[in-house]
Amino acid sequence: MWNEGYFTEGTYTYGYYRELSPAWQRLCLLANGYEIPEPGPGSVHCELGFGQGVSINIHAAAIQGRYFGTDFNPSHALHANMLCYASGTKADLRDISFAEMLEIKDVPQFDSISMHGVWTWISQDNQKRIVEFVRRYLKPGGVFYNSYNCFPGWAQNHPIRELLTMPDVYARSGNNAAERITNALAFAEKAVRANTQYAERHKSLVSHLQVLKKQDPSYLAHEYLNRDWNVMYFTEVAEMLKEAKLDYACTASLLDALDNLECMNMPEKALEFLTGIRHPLLREEMRDYYINRQFREDLYVKGGLKLTSQKLLDSLLETKYVIVVPEAEKLECIGYYRTVDFKSELITPIYNWLKADRSRPRNFTAFAGIHPEIAPVVLSSLLLVMAEQNIIAPCQSEEAVLAVTPYCCRLNRYLCRRALYSEDISVLASPLTGYGFNIGRIQQLFLHFLWEGKKESVLHKEVWNILKSQSRNLIKDGKMLETEKENLAELKEQSKAFLEKTLPVLKTLRIVSA
């Protein structure tokens, strides 16, 4: 079978993942001391198993270089190529399997190869094929990104997958993905509750099933109804990837780069034990135990070069940033063990520095001279925390921004026109950052009508005409608004907020020309 046991009865969701962006990966690697050049016109990037192709098309539009991608589902490849045509990037997006990848002759050498949510859901043979593909085609100094379900976090709820697949495999009830997963969830819940002692001993299973019932059936079907579901420990994956000459570098979360914030993830004695482990792979796996990690987002390098501590610090401060939220006056990190609140006297000067010229990216090389009370190492940590939480964003060079702006413009206008009929893609491409900016359907519609030349004062009426023609009403505070007057009033408020808060951010990100 061409699908090799993968669930193909329904198409995958339309999610966007910042972690797949070469620009974001570069920042994460920089934060962990790796010297990775900024993507340029000659760089080549690959995404394996791109799903609906949202992420690869956002990045192909927003970051210079050539893009190659595969997904063996032809419906996914068709949709991905529709987005590609809209942007004009000419990315090479194919519907081929991992086995077929190794047979084609025109594969380039890649600066990065990425895959999100693929590894766990494919066979061991296909995992080996991916390792071989990376071994052959990732350049020296190249980056490999891989995300997957992992132990020990999945140990407690691992039986849920079997509970869901058993009735689906043997009874095969349901005519489509939504029915099949709904019936499987009903069977699993009934089976667990039928034995009260078992349900009492495994309360987390019951609560997890309740969480699953609220999620998108299409996502759940692809998550749980595949033939293959290989949850692995971090060290198992790392050992396999050694065959491709890869070394583990870091995760795609900037918070994991900050040793001084580990106090929010574990008590002091556990932290002391962890820091005493010298082998990096053993230390990383032990960290998974302490935070009970369920999902990893790992970055590997093929012969990466390390920066000195001073060069690392200088590079982070030389990076230009912009504020990407309308308002932000506090900063906190919610860890696995406790929440860390940052003092306003540390945060306010950073906000003020960037607000001084909000629309223009600024670096922090001169900041220490004006604020000697904030040590450079503390400043760099705060910048990483703020970037992780999408309060600020690192910027590409002005040359790169100018090169990619036309592609982003075409793609963004297409996505906003698409919002006239659909709410499946909630992201626009930023030429300034090199990754996506999340924005909902209503805001996309406001932007669409602005681009169509409509006056600001009538945006809410234009959007209501669209929603009304589709028998769609707004929901406010969990309650559906019934009358036209109520809907128009709410849309008018949302339009005001969009114009005052969101639109300036879109201009800062160069999604909208200033």
pLDDT digits (tens, 9 = 90+) for 183-236: 888 888 888 889 989 888 888 888 888 888 888 887 787 677 777 889 999 999
* Phi/psi-derived region of residue 3, left when phi > 0, alpha when psi is between -120 and 50, beta in every other case: alpha
Instruction: Tell me how far apart the alpha carbons of residues 195 and 184 are, in angstroms, rounded to a whole number.
Output: 18
Give the angle 155-13-422 at the CA atoms, nearest 5°: 150
| Two structure tokens written together for 8 | 């193909």
Instruction: Tell me how far apart the alpha carbons of residues 21 and 394 are, in angstroms, rounded to a whole number.
Output: 13
Given the candidates 3.40.50.150, 3.40.190.10, 3.40.50.300, 3.40.50.920, the CATH classification of the domain at 18-152+230-257+293-301 is 3.40.50.150
Domain ranges of the chain: 18-152+230-257+293-301, 158-224, 309-394, 405-508
Strand-pair partners of 45: 67, 112
**The pLDDT value given to residue 1:** 40
Do 295 and 150 meet the contact criterion of CB atoms below 8 Å apart?
yes
Q: Measuring CA to CA, which residue among 97, 121, 141 is closest to residue 6?
A: 121
Give the angle 65-37-365 at the CA atoms, nearest 5°: 125
* Phi/psi-derived region of residue 110, left when phi > 0, alpha when psi is between -120 and 50, beta in every other case: beta
Do 165 and 149 meet the contact criterion of CB atoms below 8 Å apart?
no
**The pLDDT value given to residue 6:** 43
Per-residue pLDDT for the chain (514 aa), expressed as one digit of tens each?
Answer: 434 444 445 556 899 999 999 999 999 999 999 999 999 999 999 999 999 999 999 999 999 999 999 998 999 999 999 999 999 999 999 999 999 999 998 899 999 999 999 999 999 999 999 999 999 999 999 999 999 999 999 988 888 888 888 776 666 666 677 788 888 888 888 888 899 898 888 888 888 888 888 888 877 876 777 778 899 999 999 999 999 999 999 999 999 999 989 999 999 999 999 999 999 999 999 999 999 999 999 999 999 899 999 999 999 999 999 999 877 667 899 999 999 999 888 999 999 999 887 678 999 999 988 999 999 999 999 999 999 999 999 999 999 999 999 999 999 999 999 999 999 999 999 999 999 999 999 999 999 999 999 999 999 999 999 999 999 999 999 899 999 999 999 999 999 999 999 999 999 999 999 7
Q: Within 171-279, where are the H helices?
A: 177-194, 196-201, 203-212, 217-224, 234-241, 268-275
Do 307 and 33 meet the contact criterion of CB atoms below 8 Å apart?
yes
**C-alpha 185: how far from chain center:** 27
**The pLDDT value given to residue 157:** 81
**The pLDDT value given to residue 11:** 54
